[in-house]
Chain A
Amino acid sequence: DAKTTQPPSMDCAEGRAANLPCNHSTISGNEYVYWYRQIHSQGPQYIIHGLKNNETNEMASLIITEDRKSSTLILPHATLRDTAVYYCIVRVYGGATNKLIFGTGTLLAVQP
Chain B
Amino acid sequence: EAGVAQSPRYKIIEKRQSVAFWCNPISGHATLYWYQQILGQGPKLLIQFQNNGVVDDSQLPKDRFSAERLKGVDSTLKIQPAKLEDSAVYLCASSLVRGMETQYFGPGTRLLVL
Interface residues of A (CB under 8 A from B): 2, 32, 41-46, 49, 87, 91, 93-94, 96-105
Interface pair B108/A43, CB less than 8 Å apart: yes
Chain B binding surface SS class: loop
Known A43-B4, A43-B108: A99·B45 in contact at CB below 8 Å: yes
Contact status of A43 and B107, CB under 8 A, knowing A97-B56, A102-B43, A102-B44:
yes
* A99 in contact with B100 given A43-B91, A45-B105 (CB within 8 Å): no
Question: Does more than half of chain A's interface fall in helix, strand or loop, or is it mixed?
Answer: loop
Interchain residue pairs with CB less than 8 A apart (11)? A41-B108, A42-B107, A42-B108, A43-B105, A49-B100, A93-B99, A93-B100, A97-B48, A98-B103, A102-B41, A103-B42
- When the two chains form the complex, which single residue of B4, B31, B106, B107 contacts A98, counting CB atoms closer than 8 Å? B31
Q: Which of A41, A42, A105 contacts B42 (CB 8 A)?
A: A105
- Residues on the A chain within 8 Å of B73, using CB: none
Question: In chain B between 73 and 105, which residues have their CB closer than 8 angstroms to a CB of chain A?
Answer: 91, 93, 95, 98-105
B104 pairs with A46, CB closer than 8 A? yes
